[in-house]
């Protein structure tokens, strides 16, 4: 059984407790984790060889740091996990608003308490979670929000003059004393607020309503920002930027496997105990949509394409498959490629389009991304030469269409009417833990979608497949163009 924690200053002194700065505390706890081989930043995937080593170096160097990256790159999650590097609990003077160290209080309230009660000063122990303070930077944030302000009501109730430190209502930064203070989107802070942060970082003092106060804050300052905003002239004051110890660049997943793992980890696919099976090809197509979008010139690269896109798309895909299962009275929820097209609303809202993209419209851009993603997946599993008979069938006037809510058996029957399609699908569909009929449907769809992407067959908006459209000269225009297929 653990010994009871000291409840007074005298007991704290007898316990042998020695205070240390928050940066020393985090450094020591990080070293202990590294020596024990304990994993760092659980749930953060794809950063093991890039971002995490830089974070470790910054903490070991006791640096304030900033994470630079586009939206959806786990910046906020990383900052919140820094809490795990703090001690489980630390002692403060009971009732302190700024987590006063009993051995070295920084507030007048704390100093008076020690003077009045001496060794009988009561001690509270606060958990690590209460030592993390986060603020989203917006243009309307004030010095009062961050540093504090004079509280006339407190002055009146306590009988203090307004210049007395006891009249101050402390802001977020002093309340983060002996902890971590995080600012998201730092460049959005007004210049005068950035000056206030710089002054606290450098000198430890600040003026509230013209009254100078010295607060020797012990705090780790961490920030996030978009690289475009961070480097733009006038977005951040130079003295503040100069005093941030490390600039750490985050990034989107660099390979498909990491991206799929992140989406599997974050997406809600467990539907009240229903039997949900997702074929690997579906996961790949969903993930490749984001990869394709990040390279598409019609999409604003400065804004980025968040990793939330494939996460919400996969959830929407599963939902459409769930709707089909309910309509057919089936117990198996198994997404198809057609379900990805049904998840269009989960894509369009997450794309910031350039002028060309705006002209085409979000839906058209999203359709193109799905088609290209399916085509890339086709190339991974199939060979063009094996599809000659399938293309010949459609070129000869063959067509294929199935209703959105058709059962897997009905779809497979339709695909079987295309010579060689199901046989080709069978070569790449084998996943032992997945329903055979359903995965043959998925693999057959991938073959057809790959042929659509290569413009060997066409696909209508209703989802029917048919012969390819020959290039034709638009009436009244020079040159040639493809007609709208998707």
Q: Tens of pLDDT along 70-117? A: 989 999 999 999 999 999 999 999 999 999 999 999 888 889 999 999
Q: Are residues 272 and 183 in the same domain?
A: no
- Do 289 and 201 lie in a common domain? no
Per-residue pLDDT averaged across 380-401, rounded?
92
One domain for residues 309 and 373: yes
Domain termination residue (choose one: 201, 223, 249): 249
Average confidence (pLDDT) over 58-78:
94
Question: 334 with 424, same domain?
Answer: yes
* Same-domain check for residues 120 and 142: yes
In a domain, 485, yes or no: no
| Confidence at 2, pLDDT banded by 50, 70, 90 | low
Question: What per-residue confidence (pLDDT) applies to 473?
Answer: 38
Q: Do 20 and 145 fall within a single domain?
A: yes
Assess if residue 172 is contained within a domain.
yes
Residue 360 has what pLDDT? Answer: 92
* Predicted pLDDT at 105: 92
Tell me if 71 is assigned to some domain.
Answer: yes
Q: Which of 44-53, 129-138, 209-218, 340-349 is predicted with the least confidence, judged by mean pLDDT?
A: 209-218
Q: Are residues 174 and 292 in the same domain?
A: no
Tally the domains of the chain. 2
pLDDT (mean) for 325-353 = 93
| Residues 377 and 396 both lie in one domain | yes
Residue 445 lies in a domain: yes
Whether residue 468 contacts residue 458, with contact meaning beta carbons closer than 8 Å, is answered with yes
Does 1 fall in a domain? no
When pLDDT is cut at 50, 70 and 90, the band that residue 128 belongs to is very high
pLDDT top residue among 303 and 122: 122
Q: Do the Cβ atoms of 244 and 66 come closer than 8 Å?
A: yes
The CATH number covering residue 168 comes to: 3.40.50.300
Q: Which residue has the higher pLDDT, 408 or 130?
A: 130
Here the tokens at position 29 are 């706890």
Domain boundary among 204, 231, 249: 249
Range of the structural domain that residue 322 is part of = 256-467
Instruction: Tell which of 249, 268, 297 closes a domain.
Output: 249
CA–CA separation, 349 vs 367, rounded Å?
Answer: 13
Whether 213 and 317 share a structural domain: no
180: β partners: 132, 220
Q: Domain check: are 298 and 399 in the same one?
A: yes
Cβ burial, residue 439 (10 Å; 0-12/13-18/19+): buried
**271 lies in the same domain as 232:** no
Residue 45 has pLDDT above 80, yes or no: yes
Query: Residues 109, 197: one domain?
Result: yes
Looking at the domain assignment, is residue 474 inside a domain? no
Residue 463 lies in a domain: yes
pLDDT-wise least confident of 153-167, 419-433, 457-471: 153-167
103 falls within a domain: yes
Total-model pTM:
0.86
């Amino acid at each position: 059984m653990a010994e009871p924690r000291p409840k007074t200053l005298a007991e704290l002194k007898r316990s042998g407790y020695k205070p240390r700065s928050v940066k020393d505390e985090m450094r020591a706890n990080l070293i202990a984790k590294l020596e024990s081989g304990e994993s760092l930043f659980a749930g953060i995937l794809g950063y093991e060889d890039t971002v995490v080593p830089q974070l470790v170096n910054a903490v070991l160097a006791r640096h304030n740091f900033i994470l630079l990256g586009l939206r959806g790159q786990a910046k906020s999650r990383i900052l919140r996990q820094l809490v795990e590097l703090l001690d489980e609990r630390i002692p403060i003077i009971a009732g302190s608003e700024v987590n006063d160290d009993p051995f070295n209080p920084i507030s007048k309230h704390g100093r008076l308490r020690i003077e009045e009660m001496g060794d009988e000063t009561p001690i509270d122990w606060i958990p690590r979670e209460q030592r993390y303070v986060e603020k989203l930077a917006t243009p309307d944030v004030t010095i009062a929000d961050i540093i504090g302000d004079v509280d006339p009501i407190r002055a009146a109730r306590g009988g203090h003059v307004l210049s007395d430190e006891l009249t101050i209502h402390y802001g977020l930064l002093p309340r983060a004393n002996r902890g971590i203070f995080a600012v998201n989107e730092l460049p959005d802070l007004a210049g005068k607020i950035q000056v206030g942060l710089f002054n606290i970082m450098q000198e430890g003092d600040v003026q509230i309503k013209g009254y100078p106060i010295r607060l020797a804050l012990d705090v780790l300052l961490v920030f996030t920002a978009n690289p475009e905003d961070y480097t733009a002239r006038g977005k951040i004051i130079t003295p503040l930027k100069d005093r941030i110890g490390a600039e750490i660049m985050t990034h989107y997943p660099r390979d498909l496997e990491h991206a799929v793992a992140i989406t599997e980890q974050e997406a809600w696919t467990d539907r009240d105990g229903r039997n949900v099976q997702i074929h690997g090809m579906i996961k790949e197509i969903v993930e490749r949509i984001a990869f394709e979008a990040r390279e598409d010139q019609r999409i604003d690269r400065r804004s980025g394409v968040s990793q939330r896109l494939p996460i919400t798309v996969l959830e929407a895909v599963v939902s459409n498959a769930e709707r089909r299962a309910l309509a057919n009275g089936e117990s198996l929820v198994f997404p198809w490629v057609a379900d990805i097209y049904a998840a269009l609303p989960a894509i369009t809202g997450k794309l910031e389009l350039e002028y060309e993209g705006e002209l085409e419209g979000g839906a058209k851009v999203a359709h193109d991304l799905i088609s290209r993603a399916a085509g890339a997946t086709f190339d991974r599993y199939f060979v063009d030469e094996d599809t000659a008979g399938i293309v010949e069938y459609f070129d000869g006037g063959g067509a294929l269409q199935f209703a959105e809510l058709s059962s897997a058996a009905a779809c497979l029957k339709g695909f079987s009417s295309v010579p060689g399609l199901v046989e080709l699908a069978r070569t790449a569909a084998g996943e032992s833990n997945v329903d055979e009929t359903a995965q043959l449907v998925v693999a057959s769809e991938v073959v057809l979608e790959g042929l659509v992407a290569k413009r060997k067959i066409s696909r209508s908006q209703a989802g029917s497949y048919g012969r390819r459209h020959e290039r034709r000269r638009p009436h009244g225009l020079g040159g040639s163009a493809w007609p709208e297929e998707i």
